[in-house]
Amino acid sequence: MRFLPVLSPPLSPPPADRQDAACPAPAAALDPDGDVTASPDAGFVPREKRVYFEVFGCQMNKLDAELMTAVLLEEGYRFTPEVRDAGVVLYNTCAVREQAENRVFSKLGALKPLKRRRPGMVIGVLGCSAQNHREAIFERFPHVGIVCGTGEFLRLPELIARARTEGPVAALDLDFEHTPRFTRTRSFGPSPQQAYVSVMRGCDQACTFCVVPRTRGKEVSRPVREIVDECRALVDSGVVEITLLGQTVNSYGKRLAKGRVIGLQHVLHELNKIPGLQRIRFITSHPRFMTSELIDAMAGLEKVCEYLHLPVQSGSDAVLRRMLRTYTVDRYRRVVEECREKVRGLALATDVIVGFCGETDAEFQETVKLMEEVRFHGAFVFRYSERAGTRAAAEQADDVPDEVKRERNQVLLRLQSRVSTEILRERVGGVEEILVEGPSKLDPSRLTGRNRANQIIVFPGRADEGLAGNLIPVRITEATSLVLVGERVPA
Q: Which residues bind ligand F3S (CB under 6 A)?
A: 203, 205, 207, 210, 212-213, 247-248, 286
Q: Report yes or no: 78 and 30 within 8 Å, Cβ to Cβ.
A: no
The stretch near ligand SAM (CB under 6 A) out of 32-40, 134-142, 174-182, 380-388 is 380-388
Q: How far apart are CA 242 and CA 282, in angstroms?
A: 8
277 in contact with ligand SAM (CB under 6 A): no
Among 96, 144, 308, 348, binds ligand SAM (CB under 6 A): 96
> Is the Cβ of residue 114 or residue 324 nearer to ligand SAM in the bound state?
324
Q: How far apart are CA 214 and CA 205, in angstroms?
A: 11
Q: What is the DSSP letter of 379?
A: E
Shortest spacing between CB 155 and ligand F3S, in angstroms: 24
Site for ligand SAM in 148-207 (CB under 6 A): none
Q: How far apart are CA 76 and CA 104, in angstroms?
A: 26
- For 92, list phi and psi in degrees, rounded to 5: -95, 115
Q: How many CB atoms lie within 10 A of CB 257?
A: 11
Q: Which does 382 bind (CB under 5 to 8 A by kind): ligand SAM, ligand F3S, none?
A: ligand SAM
Q: Which does 208 bind (CB under 5 to 8 A by kind): ligand SAM, ligand F3S, none?
A: none
385 in contact with ligand SAM (CB under 6 A): yes
322 in contact with ligand SAM (CB under 6 A): no
CA distances from 361 to 38, 59, 208, 354, 367 (A): 60, 32, 21, 11, 10
> Is the Cβ of residue 91 or residue 384 nearer to ligand SAM in the bound state?
384
Q: How far apart are CA 242 and CA 187, in angstroms?
A: 10
248 in contact with ligand SAM (CB under 6 A): yes
**For residue 55, what is the enclosing H or E element?**
strand 50-55
Shortest spacing between CB 108 and ligand F3S, in angstroms: 25
Q: Which does 213 bind (CB under 5 to 8 A by kind): ligand SAM, ligand F3S, none?
A: ligand F3S
> Is the Cβ of residue 52 or residue 289 nearer to ligand F3S in the bound state?
289
Q: How far apart are CA 299 and CA 301, in angstroms?
A: 6
Q: Which does 353 bind (CB under 5 to 8 A by kind): ligand SAM, ligand F3S, none?
A: ligand SAM
Q: Report yes or no: 248 and 203 within 8 Å, Cβ to Cβ.
A: yes
Q: Which does 266 bind (CB under 5 to 8 A by kind): ligand SAM, ligand F3S, none?
A: none
Shortest spacing between CB 96 and ligand F3S, in angstroms: 8
Q: How far apart are CA 480 and CA 421, in angstroms?
A: 6
CA 156 to chain centre: 20
131: exposed, middle or buried (Cβ count in 10 Å: 0-12, 13-18, 19+): buried
Site for ligand SAM in 42-61 (CB under 6 A): 58
Among 50, 266, 281, 286, binds ligand SAM (CB under 6 A): 286
Where do runs of H (alpha helix) occur along 375-489?
391-395, 402-425
Number of residues that bind ligand SAM (CB under 6 A): 18
Q: How far apart are CA 170 and CA 151, in angstroms?
A: 12
Shortest spacing between CB 93 and ligand F3S, in angstroms: 16
Q: How far apart are CA 37 and CA 124, in angstroms?
A: 21
210 in contact with ligand SAM (CB under 6 A): yes
- Omega before 284 within 30 of 0, i.e. cis: yes
353 in contact with ligand SAM (CB under 6 A): yes
Q: What is the DSSP letter of 389?
A: T
Q: What is the DSSP letter of 154?
A: G
Shortest spacing between CB 194 and ligand F3S, in angstroms: 23
How many residues are listed for the chain in this entry?
491
The stretch near ligand SAM (CB under 6 A) out of 187-195, 261-269, 364-372, 383-391 is 383-391
> Is the Cβ of residue 108 or residue 211 nearer to ligand SAM in the bound state?
211
Q: What is the DSSP letter of 283?
A: E
Among 266, 387, 405, 450, binds ligand SAM (CB under 6 A): 387
Shortest spacing between CB 39 and ligand SAM, in angstroms: 36
Q: How far apart are CA 198 and CA 208, in angstroms?
A: 24
Among 313, 314, 409, 455, binds ligand SAM (CB under 6 A): 313
Nearest partner of 415 among 477, 357, 372, 467, judged by Cα:
372
> Is the Cβ of residue 160 or residue 412 nearer to ligand SAM in the bound state?
412
Q: How far apart are CA 217 and CA 177, in angstroms?
A: 11
> Is the Cβ of residue 194 or residue 285 nearer to ligand SAM in the bound state?
285
> Is the Cβ of residue 100 or residue 457 nearer to ligand F3S in the bound state?
100
Q: Which does 317 bind (CB under 5 to 8 A by kind): ligand SAM, ligand F3S, none?
A: none
Q: Which does 97 bind (CB under 5 to 8 A by kind): ligand F3S, ligand SAM, none?
A: ligand SAM
> Is the Cβ of residue 145 or residue 202 nearer to ligand SAM in the bound state?
202
